[in-house]
Amino acid sequence: MNAEYSAEQIEQILRKYLPPEEGYQRTVLEAMNYSVLAGGKRIRPRLMGEAFRLFGGEGDVVEPFMAAMEMIHTYSLVHDDLPAMDNDTLRRGKPTTWSKYGEDMGILTGDCLLTYAFETAAQAFSCTADAARVGQALGILAAKAGIYGMAGGQVVDVEKTGQPVTAEELDFIYRLKTGALLEASLMIGAVLAGADEKQTQVMERIGTDVGLAFQIRDDILDVVSSEEELGKPIGSDERNAKTTYVSLYGLEAAQREVTRRSEEAVELLQALPGDTSFFRAFIEKLEKRNK
């Protein structure tokens, strides 16, 4: 197996597929590129690329999907920060897109990133003779980003702001809002490499566990971390009257759930072929992350 994707390689892939900043719509193109290149952990494209390699994938067919996934994730953050949503002015230590370019351009930037993501992913058809795999991957991307995936989770999250939220509803929000794109990243990498249906389902379950662990850890950091360390305002959950695992169960119980979900994800790795050491190390690091 080749070496893991480096941060530099992932940045190069993203830059390769971003649009040139030209034409009458240049402002939104600048805002799109600003938003994607503002930094971030690049968790989703990295997971996708490593899943592709785990199942013996070769070539660059996965790269348009890696870029597309980060565009979709970024659009969700751009819209999350809007005044009608979380009303945040700082993201990754920089001004949020709407606060830099205006609320109107913030809305349009998210719209354009989502649409351009599918235009980008469709370029994978020219990278392989196996069009069926690309078609299946596009279906996964659409489903996990849409009303039965991330966007659906955001709908319930927004509607429930300031209202009592049950444990079942909170799990639903987290599974969709955060877990769906992580599930998609692992599934798409596997599908493009030729994984079978059972293996793809295992990848989806790992994504679910990782997504829940990631979001609950976010809840914890929003309480115990600092603005300098996170690169964004802390205490936003409390300020926006949002129910979280911390407000529902307390800090200690929330961290126990992070650990439980992480251990479950590691256990699922045993059903996969090849060297899963990257995923094992990734999950363990995620469990204890501080930003």
Which residues sit opposite 90 in a β-bridge? 95
pLDDT 10s digits, 238-248: 555 678 999 99
Query: What is the rounded CA–CA span in Å between residue 184 and residue 16?
Result: 22
Q: What's the helix, strand, coil split of the chain in %, to 5? A: 70, 0, 25
Query: What is the rounded CA–CA span in Å between residue 36 and residue 71?
Result: 7
CB contact at 8 A, 18 and 36: yes
DSSP state of 4: P
What pLDDT is recorded for position 279?
96
CB contact at 8 A, 179 and 150: no
Please report which helix (H) or strand (E) contains residue 217, including its range: helix 197-224
Q: What is the pLDDT along the chain (291 residues), one digit of tens a residue?
A: 456 889 999 999 999 999 999 999 999 999 999 999 998 999 999 999 999 999 999 999 999 999 999 999 999 999 999 999 989 999 988 999 999 999 999 999 999 999 999 999 999 999 999 999 999 999 999 999 999 999 999 999 999 888 889 999 999 999 999 999 999 999 999 999 999 999 999 999 999 999 999 999 989 998 886 555 555 555 555 555 678 999 999 999 999 999 999 999 999 999 998 899 999 999 999 888 876
DSSP track, 133-146: HHHHHHHHHHHHHS
DSSP state of 88: -
Question: CA geometry: angle at 63 spanning 60 and 69, to 5°?
Answer: 160
What pLDDT is recorded for position 124?
98
What pLDDT is recorded for position 224?
84
Q: Is the pTM of this model over 0.95?
A: no
Estimate to the nearest angstrom the gap between the alpha carbon of 108 and the chain centroid. Answer: 20
What pLDDT is recorded for position 227?
55
